[in-house]
Amino acid sequence: MVDVARLKRLEEEGRRRVARRDEPPYSDVAWLDEVRDASLDLAEELERLGDMDFAEVADWISLASEGALRDTARRCAARGIPRGECLVPPAAQSDLEAIDEAYERATGKRCTWLLGEIENYTLSAALNDLTSCFHRVMERYEDLAGGYERKGKCLFKDADPSLKEACEEWSKAIEKFKEQGLYTAGNYDALYFRAEDAKAEIRVGETAGHLTHLDLNTGTLEYYDVNPDVKRLAKELLEEECGLKCEVTPESTTCKGATKDNASCIAKIMATLSSARFRIYEPEKWWKKIPEECETEDPIKREKCLIKKKLEEMK
């Protein structure tokens, strides 16, 4: 979860630096580094909350903070040039334009004030614009986060009780898999389960599109993955363990038969699929021991067997 107090401190510090335009930017690089890290955290949280448009804005703020703007601040600090006289090169302006474009896609408006409006675009002006956009993203996060009940990696908003229970089971499973070293660190960090009404979105891996959409109203599940072996694994586990009927397509594994009764089963299977593409091809590296009954030349059958045994241990 993002520390809002930290975000507000960074915003206030940004405004103070803008006001001190006659001072050289001696510590601006350190501030930009903090803005970069905070924006990355915001991007991840906004994605968890379902706002991909604002997550993109946060990503661009992070990129701008570590790019040519940072180099400009370092150069002017080394030469003792005040912020109000430190001219920002076109590369840094392009980064800020990218933030503006992403924000306009999200809202129809700009988040900068001075970019393209003044002749001599200085570091003071650029920090003003960056802080303005950072403020807008922070506000969006506060608005969204306030509407969700959070429990660990679970987010609920008027969620069906069966989905709350499903997320509890999912949480237990992901913690067990993490504890036993069956996830990459990046995959675990990216995981979330967001439920609203009778629908849920489950993040399975660190790639942005590695998601599962579960809709209890229509009884459908869509699991998106580009790896054909993992999609086959998902199909077989969901059919054999949860009673779904699934089909593998080039883009996804799609299933029918999702209900309140099998939602927890589905959630547990989703927990097992994170990092599966690594475990399938290097089982000895990930699984401490491969039981005799799971030894087979078929890597999908082997991984499926190992997952089933792990789920059995967790009952």
In DSSP notation, 274-294 reads TTHHHHHH-HHHH-S---GGG
Q: What pLDDT sits at residue 166?
A: 97
Three-state DSSP class for residue 314: coil
Q: What pLDDT sits at residue 115?
A: 92
The ranges of the chain with pLDDT < 70 are 208-209
Q: What pLDDT sits at residue 45?
A: 93
Q: What pLDDT sits at residue 209?
A: 64
178 to 173, 211, 223, 265: CA distances (angstroms)? 9, 19, 21, 19
Q: What pLDDT sits at residue 169?
A: 96
- The continuous run of DSSP H or E covering 116 comes out as none
Cα 194-237-263 angle, rounded to 5 deg: 35
In 3D, which of 150, 42, 28 has the Cα closest to residue 92?
28
Contact status, residue 266 vs residue 253, Cβ threshold 8 Å:
no
**Cα 116 from Cα 103, distance rounded (Å):** 16
Q: What are the residue boundaries of the structural domains of the chain, listed by start?
A: 4-145, 150-313
What is the tens place of the pLDDT at every residue in 69-103?
999 999 999 999 999 999 999 999 999 999 999 99
